[in-house]
Amino acid sequence: MHPSTPDSTQCCAELPLADSSLPAGFPSPADDYAGQRISLDEHLIRQRESTFFMRVAGDSMRGMGIFDGDLLVVDRSLPAAHGCVVVAVVDGEFTLKQLLRTPDGQVLRAAHPDYPDLHIKPEQDFSIWGVVTWNIHKV
């Protein structure tokens, strides 16, 4: 392996973390230095062995701030609770939706008016592949 090639087992590099929060309202003086370092792996990933990155294709979740091309952090070890954004497999196809548990059964809801709810029928092949824990997108 070339010395400049990162080892695939290494975590992301630790990056500086500013000492103060970033106000999103009125401007305030910023610190000129970073007081500590943060590892995005440690911040974004709870269970390394069960966490995957997935790229979004489509706009069905844009109402929840998830856009085409975004990078998702998906944890397969987490239980899927009512209201979670999940990666589901329905009849052999992956889909990204919000999971709703209703008295009539499970519903996968898009966050876009052009996409109808998907009511899971007992005869359908259905499973939750993972729970979305983070969404990363370029601004």
Residues with catalytic annotation? 60, 97
CA atoms within 13 A on the CB side of 51: 14
- Bridge partners of 51? 75
Is 104:98 a contact under the CB 8 Å cutoff? no
Angle 14-17-20 from CA coordinates, rounded to 5°:
170
Is 74:131 a contact under the CB 8 Å cutoff? yes
Is 100:120 a contact under the CB 8 Å cutoff? no
Where do runs of H (alpha helix) occur along 29-114?
A: 40-44
Q: How many residues does the chain have?
A: 139
